[in-house]
Structure 1
Amino acid sequence: MPKYMFVYRGGHEGMEHTSPEEMQQVMQRWMDWIHAGIEAGWMLDGGAALKPEGAIVNPDLSVFDGPFTESKELVGGYSMVEASDLAAAIELAKSSPMPQSGGTVEVRELPNLGMQNE
């Protein structure tokens, strides 16, 4: 069955004004969604959030602090799922808390290059 990576972007705008209780509710929605996916068998790896700090290594091996994308485009995390096809993966992405938070989910199929366990 094909495997997909969900890349989560944005959705954190205005979070600096979120109360600790509201933040806990947001985190609980994510944990519930990931746990349900693991129990159902389609969530392969709940992934992780990514810190905004990082670096970019260019082809000439120069290094820049980054990433320098707009806040709404900043990659905030990822998950790995399994679905019968792209349409099914998209439906799983729609069920994630990210669209409800104002962010987006990029859905990308992972090619089987002979290195992944089937």
Structure 2
Amino acid sequence: MKDFMFVFRNDPSTLADRSPEDMQASMQKWMDWIGGIAAQGKLIDRGNRLNAAGKVVKPSQAIVDGPYIETKESVGGYTMVRAESLDEAAEMAKGCPILLFGGNVEVREIDRM
């Protein structure tokens, strides 16, 4: 088995006008999806959402405010799973609720040294 990280990207403006009921329904979809992965024994870390505030360290060692969204897409969170292959991990990602809201999931294998 190999370890993979799902990196969730979306347009943060898609969340702005959602009602509390919509947010609750969305959260339930996330919990169901994560629960299904956990039930298979393939969940390593459910991960978390990432706060939009942060700092960026540049090669010059300058530390600046950011990251700033220069496109309509930002990294919103992550989850770590275990799968036999990249293809299997990608199949798991197909059930991610972020896809219902125009977001996407980047699937990356974690190299252990």
* Contact 2:11 2:74 survives alignment (8 Å): no
TM-score, normalization by structure 2: 0.93
* Separation in structure 1 between the aligned mates of residue 92 and residue 13 of structure 2, nearest angstrom: 23
* Separation in structure 2 between the aligned mates of residue 53 and residue 35 of structure 1, nearest angstrom: 29
The match for 1:53 is 53
The match for 2:107 is 107
TM-score, normalization by structure 1: 0.89
* Separation in structure 2 between the aligned mates of residue 70 and residue 9 of structure 1, nearest angstrom: 14
Aligned length: 113
Identical-pair percentage: 44
The match for 1:10 is 10
Task: State yes or no: 1:30 paired with 2:30.
Answer: yes
Structure 1 gaps of 5+ residues are 114-118
* Separation in structure 1 between the aligned mates of residue 100 and residue 14 of structure 2, nearest angstrom: 14
| One-letter amino acid of the counterpart of residue 3, structure 2 | K
| One-letter amino acid of the counterpart of residue 64, structure 1 | V
| Residue range with higher mean Cα deviation, 66-75 or 85-94 | 66-75
* Separation in structure 1 between the aligned mates of residue 13 and residue 99 of structure 2, nearest angstrom: 13
**Post-superposition offset of 1:11:** 4.8
* Separation in structure 2 between the aligned mates of residue 26 and residue 11 of structure 1, nearest angstrom: 15
Secondary structure, counterpart of 1:5 in structure 2: strand
The match for 1:96 is 96
The match for 1:40 is 40
Secondary structure, counterpart of 1:111 in structure 2: coil
What's the RMSD between the two structures over aligned residues? Answer: 1.3
CA deviations 1:13-69 (Å, max 9, x no partner) are: 332111100011011111111112111111111100001110101122111111123
**Post-superposition offset of 1:71:** 5.3
| Residue range with higher mean Cα deviation, 95-104 or 68-77 | 68-77
Regions of 4+ moved over 6 Å: none
* Separation in structure 2 between the aligned mates of residue 33 and residue 10 of structure 1, nearest angstrom: 18
Would the alpha carbon gap of residues 66 and 112 (structure 1) be closer, same or farther in structure 2, given more than 3 Å must change? same
